[in-house]
């Protein structure tokens, strides 16, 4: 049985991960298509996944790690990570997400991210959310740009992906931009 609903989006539901989600998370996080878009340097194991049961990364209750459901089935994972020093003080977080290969292109990443951003700015009082994407991940860049993120910089040859060095692009979104309060 799926974990409890944490947030509802327009076409997705964000649920607290439960034991029923472990196989889905393991299979997809280790899928070559998904791994090629993630910064995780090693394969995910069952213990890594189980640390997220309950909705956090297991290290910090300020971090949210939720399973994305559509039509009653898991389709992805979305995070609002607050693990760096001073994240709470500076009221910042990092957004991350992935969608299972067979479910990509349905708007699930955009809706999941939008739903979690609403929660972050409205309920958690965040001032800024950042996100990173490999320069080759055009789909992720489109999601972030649709949500209003601004490209803030490029970390050259930052990650080794599939044996090739690639740039990592950092994006940022301020609370005032999310709310449309830009002058």
Tell me what the mean pLDDT of segment 19-39 comes to. Answer: 81
What's the rounded Cα separation, in Å, for the pair 161 and 110?
A: 24
| pLDDT at position 41 over 70 | no
Coil/strand/helix, residue 134? strand
For the ranges 23-27, 111-115, 139-143, 173-177, the lowest mean pLDDT is seen at: 23-27
The answer to whether residue 70 is domain-embedded is yes
Task: Encode pLDDT of 57-97 as tens digits.
Answer: 656 677 898 999 999 999 999 999 988 889 889 999 999 99
The answer to whether residue 167 is domain-embedded is no
Residue 61, domain extent: 5-129+140-145
HSE, CB side, 13 Å, CA atoms: give it for residue 158: 16
> How many independent structural domains does the chain possess?
1
The answer to whether residue 120 is domain-embedded is yes
The answer to whether residue 121 is domain-embedded is yes
55 or 153: which carries more pLDDT confidence? Answer: 153
Find where tokens 């997220």 sit.
52
The answer to whether residue 157 is domain-embedded is no
What's the rounded Cα separation, in Å, for the pair 117 and 93?
A: 10
Say what the pLDDT of residue 58 is: 57
Please state the pTM of the whole predicted model.
0.90
The answer to whether residue 158 is domain-embedded is no
Q: CATH number, domain at 109?
A: 3.40.630.30
Say what the pLDDT of residue 42 is: 60
The answer to whether residue 165 is domain-embedded is no
CB-based contacts of 40, cutoff 8 Å, min separation 6: 29
The answer to whether residue 60 is domain-embedded is yes
Tokens of residue 165, six digits: 């060095």
């Amino acid at each position: 049985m799926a974990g409890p609903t944490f947030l509802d989006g327009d076409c997705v539901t964000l649920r607290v991960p439960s034991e029923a989600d472990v196989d889905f998370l393991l299979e997809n996080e280790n899928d070559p298509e998904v791994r090629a878009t993630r910064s995780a340097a090693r394969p995910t194991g069952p213990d890594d996944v189980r640390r997220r049961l309950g909705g956090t990364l297991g290290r910090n209750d300020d971090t949210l790690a939720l399973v994305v459901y559509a039509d009653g089935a898991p389709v992805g994972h979305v995070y609002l990570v607050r693990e760096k020093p001073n994240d709470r003080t500076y009221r910042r977080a990092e957004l991350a997400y992935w969608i299972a290969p067979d479910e990509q292109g349905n708007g699930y990443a955009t809706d999941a991210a939008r739903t979690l951003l609403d929660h972050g700015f409205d309920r958690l009082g965040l001032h800024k959310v950042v996100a990173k994407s490999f320069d080759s991940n055009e789909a992720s860049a489109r999601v972030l740009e649709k949500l209003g993120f601004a490209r803030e910089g490029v970390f050259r040859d930052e990650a080794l992906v599939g044996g090739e060095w690639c740039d990592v692009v950092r994006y940022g979104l301020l609370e005032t931009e999310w709310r449309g309060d830009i002058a």
